[in-house]
Amino acid sequence: MTIGFIGTGEITKAVVTGMSTVDGEKPTILVSPRNEEIAAGLADRFENVEIAASNQAVIDGAETVCLALRPGDAEEIIKTLKFGPSHHVISFMPTFSQARLSGIVAPATRITLVTPLPAVAFHGGPTPVFPPDEDAIAMFDPLGTVVAAETDDEYQAMCVATASLAGAYAYYETIADWLQAKNLPADKARAFSGAVFYALAATARNAPEMSFSELTHESATRGGTNEQVLKHLKDNNVYTAFSKALDGIWDRFENAKPSSD
């Protein structure tokens, strides 16, 4: 099977790296020529990766075509391309619903929505998939944890949650910056904040039976410093603001749907 990618940017780089480093047989991969540097890097590094001459050549040479274009450019670019009825189109673009895509990839009708996160590069990425297409699940399963959504809304909710990545890094950036402001060298500040981030993630992963509320409670020693910081953040509506930001992404997805959706 040949898997094609239109839009060779950061997420394509991560997915192609993940797919090209699994144990056993690797899929044949055809990437679009732009971004030139990323495409060349992937083709140099992996024997199973080739650069196609154009976006249309990706479609013509692959049975499965992954769409990984920026939300603002995608529709105009895809409209210029010709898909066949048997193509399986896998979109990584969270603001594009199945209904919106079906209008621009026709006569292709098999459309799967997938939101891989960059950790798929080292087989540690959570990937929501909708609908639960067996081939798409088999493609992303070796790259981490596939979470198949049964409904459009379930998928959309997970996609909304993937908008939290940059904000989460910025939280740890705030810690590192604060440490530096207290004269900790930048490398130590980065290492320490990163280690805290990792420790929390590992603790949560090792205790799947504990809710986040229980983990929060357990970390906030009564009368201690964590309790004080948590109260300050809550009193200043930090978490309410975050929840509202996710509501804003939900609304963005709703507004991006065609009116008949």
Ligand X SMILES: NC(=O)C1=CN([C@@H]2O[C@H](COP(=O)(O)OP(=O)(O)OC[C@H]3O[C@@H](n4cnc5c(N)ncnc54)[C@H](OP(=O)(O)O)[C@@H]3O)[C@@H](O)[C@H]2O)C=CC1
Ligand Y SMILES: O=C(O)[C@@H]1CCC=N1
Two tokens at 214? 């229980």
257: exposed, middle or buried (Cβ count in 10 Å: 0-12, 13-18, 19+): middle
Please select the residue that binds ligand Y; options are 64, 97, 115, 193, rule is CB under 6 A: 115
By CB under 6 A, is residue 180 in contact with ligand Y?
no
Which residue of the chain is nearest ligand X when measured via CB? Answer: 9
Q: Which residue, 15 or 108, is less far from ligand X as judged by CB?
A: 15
By CB under 6 A, is residue 69 in contact with ligand X?
yes
By CB under 6 A, is residue 94 in contact with ligand Y?
yes
By CB under 6 A, is residue 93 in contact with ligand X?
yes
Angle, CA of 106, 132 and 203, to the nearest 5°: 130
Q: Which residue, 19 or 179, is less far from ligand X as judged by CB?
A: 19
User: Which range, of 8-16, 149-157, 201-209, 224-232, touches ligand X by CB under 6 A?
Assistant: 8-16
Please select the residue that binds ligand X; options are 4, 49, 55, 149, rule is CB under 6 A: 55
Other C-beta atoms lying within 10 Å of the C-beta of residue 111: 22
By CB under 6 A, is residue 77 in contact with ligand X?
yes
Helix (H, G, I), strand (E, B) or coil at 221: coil
Q: In what order do the strands lie in the sheet with 28-31?
A: 49-51, 28-31, 2-6, 64-67, 88-91, 110-114, 125-130, 144-148
Q: Which residue, 68 or 189, is less far from ligand Y as judged by CB?
A: 68
Please select the residue that binds ligand Y; options are 27, 162, 210, 256, rule is CB under 6 A: 162
Amino acid at 214: E
Contacts for 187-190: CB closer than 8 Å, 24+ residues apart: none
> Taking CB under 6 A as the rule, which mask of x and - marks residues 15-54 in contact with ligand X?
-----------------x-xx-------------------
Closest distance between ligand Y and the C-beta of residue 91, in Å?
11
Angle, CA of 242, 248 and 250, to the nearest 5°: 110
Helix (H, G, I), strand (E, B) or coil at 250: helix
Binding footprint of ligand Y on the chain (CB under 6 A): 94, 115, 162, 165
- Which residues form the interface with ligand X (CB under 6 A)? 6-12, 32, 34-35, 55, 68-71, 73, 77, 92-94, 115-118
